Amino acid sequence: MPAPLKRRSEVLALTYAMLRAADRLALLPAADQVRARDEYLSTLGWNLGRFARLDAALAAAREAGLRVVVLKGGLLARTHYRDPGARPMVDLDLACDPHDTERLVALWCGLGMQRWLHPQFRIAGAATHDVKLVEGPLVIELHFRMWHELRLGDDLRGLLARAVEVPFGGATAWAPALADHLFLVLVHAATHGFAGNPLWLTDAALLAAEATGDTWAEVERLAAQAGASLPLAAALDHLCLVFPELFPSRSALGPAPLRRAVLRRLAPWLQRGEPELGLLPSRIVRPLLVERPGALVGWLGDKLRLWWSSDAQSREP
C-alpha cells in the first residue's frame, strides 16, 4: 500500500491480523509490531462487544418478521476478513425498508439502545439517510435511504429485494447481493471524498475476488441508474492506484476524465484520511464527483440552504 495508507491505524490492525495469521510478524519492525498489536487488540475488543449486541438486535428483528440487511464492514468482518480484530470500524451500517424504520427503532430501544437525534436543520433539509442507535460499544446507522450526498438515486428497495441470507456468527443475516455490495462500497467511499475509513479498499478487493464480468456489468448498471457513474469510476481509479496487480489501470475514457485525473492526483493527500486532514478535504472533493452540471447547481444550492439553516439554528437563544 502507499505510504500514507500504511500509517493509518485501521490498516495497522489489518496488517497485524494478516501477519499473525501467517506467522510472519517478524516482517514488522519491533516498534511497529507494538503499535499494530495495540490497534488490533483494541479493534478485537470493540468488535466482540459490537457483534454480541448486533446478534441480539438481528435476532429480535428476525422474530418480528423485519428484514434488516447488514452492510460493508459490519458484514465483511465476519464473512470475508474472518477475524473480528482485522476490520476496524466506528459504526455498523444496516439497511431496512423505510416503512419498517420506526418499528425497528422501537424494538431495539426496548432492548436497551438509545436513539441519537440528528440536528433538526439536517432533518428539515432532508440531509439524513439513517437513524443512529447506540448501546455501549455498538453504534448502528440504520439506513432508510442509501445516501443523501451528490444528488444520487437513494432508493434501497432494489438492494433489499435482492439481498441473500448468509451465515453470520451462530445464525444467519441478510447480505447485499455481490453487485449491490460492490456498488455500495465503491460509491460510499466517493461520497466521503475518499478520505474516510481506508478499508473500503480492502472491502472492495475482497468482494471483487468473487466478481465476474456479469457482476461488473450489473455494478455499472446500478451506477448509471443512480446517477453515480462518475463516483463509481473515480473509486475504481483509486482502487487501481492502490492495488495495480489486482485492478489493471482503467481507460481514461468514460465519465469526466478531467475531473477523474484531478482526483487521482489528489489521492496521496486524501489517503492521509480525515483524522489527520480534518473534514474539509472531503468537502472540497465532493463537488468534483457530482455527475451532471445541473445536479451540481442543485447540490450546491442544497448545501448553501443547509449551511444557512445550521447557522440560523446556532443563533437561536
User: Could you read off the pLDDT of 50-89 as tens digits, one per residue?
Assistant: 999 999 999 999 999 999 999 999 999 999 998 999 999 9
> Interior CA angle at 242 toward 239 and 244, to 5°?
85
Enumerate residues 6+ apart whose C-beta is below 8 A from 289.
150, 190, 191, 193, 230, 231, 234, 259, 263
Phi and psi at residue 72, in whole multiples of 5°?
50, -135
Domain regions of the chain by residue span: 3-314
How, if at all, do strands 130-135 and 114-116 pair? antiparallel
pTM of the model: 0.93
User: Could you read off the pLDDT of 82-117 as tens digits, one per residue?
Assistant: 899 999 999 999 999 999 999 999 999 999 999 998
Of the candidates 176, 168, 163, 250, the one whose C-alpha atom is nearest the C-alpha of residue 207 is: 176
How far apart (Å, rounded) are the C-alpha atoms in residues 283 and 301? 15
What CATH number was assigned to the domain covering residues 3-314?
A: 3.30.460.40
- By the 8 A CB rule, do 67 and 174 touch? yes
**Lowest mean pLDDT: which of 71-80, 121-130, 138-147, 244-253?**
244-253
The pLDDT of residue 251 is 57
